Structure 1
Amino acid sequence: MRVLREGPARITKATVDAAWRRRRPGERLLIGDAGCRGLALVVNPTGMAWRFDYKARGTDPRTGKRFPTRSVTIGNPETHSPDAARNAAGRIKGEAKAGADPAAVKRAAIAGAAKRRALTMDRLVEDCATALPSRPKLRGTGTVSAAHAADEVAHVKAAVAAMKAGDRPVAEIGVAELRAALAAFAPMPATARHRFGALSRFFDWCQDEGHVALNPCALVAKARRPRAVAARQHHLAPAELARLWHAAGEADGLAPVHRDLIRFLLAVPCRRGEAAAMDWAHVALGAGVWTQPGALTKNGDLHRVQLPPLALGILRERHAATGAPGAGLVFPAPKSRKPVDTFSDMKAALCDAAFGGWRWHDFRRSFATALGEGGVAEPVVDAVLNHRQAATRGGVLGVYQRAQRWPEQVRAMEVWGAILAAAIEGRAEDARVARLPVTTTT
């Protein structure tokens, strides 16, 4: 582009109007102002602007010469009159004489503002979702599972949606937005706690990455944060479990694999995700033992389960019906052949056929309660449930006690199988079989 220079001349509004009429394609006209050295009106083919040129104070220690001329744009004739432009140029000149570099400061401010606008909540949630699977666990070792990462991100996205903050810069999110999210989830205390926790961990990640200076969740008063929901204590009597067992074979909409999975969960006190991921390679039908790899358990520990006759019967029938495979899912979904994940639909069908008011995890509490009433020692029950007991124990017992008490686990599962079978058959269990001597621990 051809550059023409004029002046210096005292620029007035008439000067600006005349310069605009003189603009030409391919030309840039610079008119220096006589009233403020360094100030110039820049006339381009499509617009005008005020520009101020200055020399930064001092000399370059490497060359011994003064720093090159810097330029700062001061709006345009629509935002600044000639006098306003001179005043702005005077302030910049004063900053430069004081040792500052106004042009660098302005560029940094523009870049910072652009970065803040780009770091929106939606974008950062996606970045966090990508980084989360490779981040170390907050407790223990290793990384989080894919399922945990997906659940965590889902909670964060739900919280962001409640705040209506998806397109807002993360640095703008404060206590007011968090309170709006908490108000939206107030009718669901457990959900509110999960989502606030996930959102706080997301902001921790943002802080670690340098996107925010402080986690805004830390500014929410403790009294306003969601409280922990009381631990659920509901459990089912053996007779109620028997009703669900029978309902699994009668409920509408349940495929045979769903029926078998439900009955297996009633017979074996495992977590539903562990049963859904069960593989034939991990089952020894002859010995009646299911060995869960650490990668599939909640606490990451390898876990053996003695299978009661009811569970073995289910597995043997499925094994024979599917061609006696050596590996592969025991309970594959009917269409996708992936692990069953329609537990909500299965539960709804059972409730319609039998009764409601229960949850899948109640089966584990029912097992623990029945065996506790039968005199089985709590450490044995915990071992069957694969609870990491030492995590809540101190002293010698917590540090050194690592016994699995396998013979007692086997006996406990025999007792449980007898209790459940008696309930299913509608008879009272044999007290000599269903009860163990009370084992005390010190």
Structure 2
Amino acid sequence: MAKALTTRAVDALKADPDKRIEVPDPALSGLYLVIQKSGAKSWALRYRFGGKPAKLTLGRWPIMGVAEARGAATDALEEIHHGRNPAEAKKAAKAEASADGDRDKLSNVIDLFMKRHASRNRRGDDVLAMFRREVMDKWGDRDIHSIAKRDVIEVLDGIVDRGSPVTANRLRAHLNTLFNWAKGRDIIEANPLDGIKPPAPEKPRNRVLTDDEIKLFWNACDGLGYPFGPIYRLLLLTGQRLREVAEMSWREIDGDTWTLPDARSKNADEHVVPFSPEALAVLDSLPRIGGRYVFTTTGNSPVSGFTRAKERVDKLMAEASDDPIPAFTIHDLRRTAATGMAGLRFPPHVVEAVLNHRSGTRRGVAGVYNRFDYADEKRAALDAWARYVTQLVEGEPGNIVRIGGR
């Protein structure tokens, strides 16, 4: 009869570099000492459950000694006798422990934040993209409790130092919302952004494209092709917001009118945009992909990838210009259109109606009682502005009434 395993016997057993070895313990049927080719040793119990062979890893040698291994194996055999599979129970316990250990990882907290809170924000995709771009590589695997004020300041300072102060301010705002949300759900006790001010001052943007830049921009859109070229041209012609145009659906268009539903409008007001003949010409040139979205490459979702498209516009404009072109954003096209319509002598309330603004003359009590939508006036302003842009692009200086010396 083979002798039961002892501490001295287990220590004396050597590994085989060519194969894994299992040494049975004669003192307890089913208990084995497993010796890996590397020399690592562990205990395992082999048994049958539900008519099928099964294995339960008990622990590593020498942390688990001979007596402890026999005790663990005996407990497992007792579980089997009562109809419970110890291997499955261990697997479930390990998964639960893993889930509990990972739930406070920042990446998992962000996932929950996006699901429970930010999904109600129409700009939720932008928030998630900023988190992925700016903090996930640095903090994603960290426990949210480990992120301190100093960590936040270092990240924000790095963004400012690379020349993106506005991005740093936006990230601070989004992180502040995230951590306040986590605090409200008792995930953390304190918000590390408390006391951190916006890292950079912001000045209201006043960038407006000049007439020469408008022409360069329009021609550069030819180089982009579908979908970004037509999107950018519509933005310039209509003065509307990027997301609202990019996510436009064919069913929102009726003849020469586009009705932006309140669910997609920034101020939650339905907004009617008359299309000028020039805007309609842009739409008429578009392919029909999938039949739902005006601007799509898949047919199932709106287009994305605006950052790279804007970089291509900048490059094409720079190549076509003899002089440096000051930086501008796509949102500056909206300001350019508004300034252009004002320069063509359309009153502020009409320009605000075109932009779907609730400010100035259309704000507060005046906005509540004045529900006139200025449909005819908006059409006149957009038609005049589109003619102005077309004349610039086609080089008809004799027909252009210059706006404010531009």
Using the size of structure 1 for normalisation, the TM-score is: 0.60
Q: CA RMSD in A?
A: 3.4
Q: Determine the structure 2 residue equivalent to 1:293.
A: 261
Does the 8 Å CA contact 1:129/1:149 hold for their aligned counterparts? yes
- Letter of the 1:243 partner, please give it: L
| Aligned-residue offset at 1:45 | 3.5
Q: Determine the structure 2 residue equivalent to 1:183.
A: 157
Does the 8 Å CA contact 1:422/1:429 hold for their aligned counterparts? no
| Secondary structure of the structure 2 residue equivalent to 1:379 | helix
Within the candidate set 191, 202, 214, 1:229 is matched to 202
Does the 8 Å CA contact 2:159/2:167 hold for their aligned counterparts? yes
- Give the distance between the partners of 2:177 and 2:361, measured in 1 at CA: 23
Q: Cα deviations across residues 158-181 of structure 1 (Å, max 9, x unaligned)?
A: 55447x444443333332222222
| Aligned-residue offset at 1:293 | 1.4
| Aligned-residue offset at 1:132 | 2.2
Q: Determine the structure 1 residue equivalent to 2:117.
A: 132
Q: Cα deviations across residues 119-153 of structure 1 (Å, max 9, x unaligned)?
A: 2323322222221245xxxxxxxx322xx223223
Distance 1:173 1:260, change over 3 A: closer
| Aligned-residue offset at 1:201 | 0.8
Aligned residues: 303
Does the 8 Å CA contact 1:419/1:429 hold for their aligned counterparts? no
Q: Determine the structure 1 residue equivalent to 2:308.
A: 345
Distance 1:336 1:328, change over 3 A: closer
Distance 1:215 1:402, change over 3 A: farther
Gaps of 5+ in 2: 1-26, 29-64, 70-98, 319-324
Which protein shows a greater Rg? 1
| Aligned-residue offset at 1:311 | 0.9
- Give the distance between the partners of 1:183 and 1:207, measured in 2 at CA: 24
| Aligned-residue offset at 1:377 | 1.3
Q: Determine the structure 1 residue equivalent to 2:194.
A: 218
Gaps of 5+ in 1: 1-24, 27-42, 48-113, 135-142, 436-442
Within the candidate set 81, 103, 121, 2:106 is matched to 121
- Letter of the 1:232 partner, please give it: R
- Give the distance between the partners of 2:154 and 2:314, measured in 1 at CA: 35
| Aligned-residue offset at 1:385 | 1.0
Does the 8 Å CA contact 2:236/2:336 hold for their aligned counterparts? no
- Letter of the 1:315 partner, please give it: L
Does the 8 Å CA contact 1:116/1:169 hold for their aligned counterparts? no
- Give the distance between the partners of 2:346 and 2:152, measured in 1 at CA: 47
- Find out whether 1:382 has 2:345 as its counterpart: no
Q: Cα deviations across residues 179-217 of structure 1 (Å, max 9, x unaligned)?
A: 222222222211111111111111111111112222221
Q: Determine the structure 1 residue equivalent to 2:55.
A: none
| Aligned-residue offset at 1:412 | 0.9
Q: Determine the structure 2 residue equivalent to 1:33.
A: none
Distance 1:366 1:284, change over 3 A: same
Distance 1:247 1:196, change over 3 A: closer
Q: Determine the structure 2 residue equivalent to 1:242.
A: 215
Q: Cα deviations across residues 5-40 of structure 1 (Å, max 9, x unaligned)?
A: xxxxxxxxxxxxxxxxxxxx99xxxxxxxxxxxxxx
- Give the distance between the partners of 2:252 and 2:143, measured in 1 at CA: 49
- Find out whether 1:367 has 2:337 as its counterpart: yes
Give the fraction of aligned pairs with identical amino acids, expressed as a percent. Answer: 26
Distance 1:372 1:277, change over 3 A: same
Q: Determine the structure 2 residue equivalent to 1:109.
A: none
- Find out whether 1:200 has 2:201 as its counterpart: no
Distance 1:348 1:165, change over 3 A: closer
- Give the distance between the partners of 1:345 and 1:123, measured in 2 at CA: 29
Q: Which has the higher contact order (CA 8 A, sep 6+)?
A: 2
| Aligned-residue offset at 1:237 | 2.5
- Find out whether 1:421 has 2:390 as its counterpart: yes
- Give the distance between the partners of 2:150 and 2:328, measured in 1 at CA: 37
- Find out whether 1:316 has 2:284 as its counterpart: yes
- Find out whether 1:152 has 2:152 as its counterpart: no
- Give the distance between the partners of 1:190 and 1:380, measured in 2 at CA: 31
Distance 1:212 1:418, change over 3 A: same
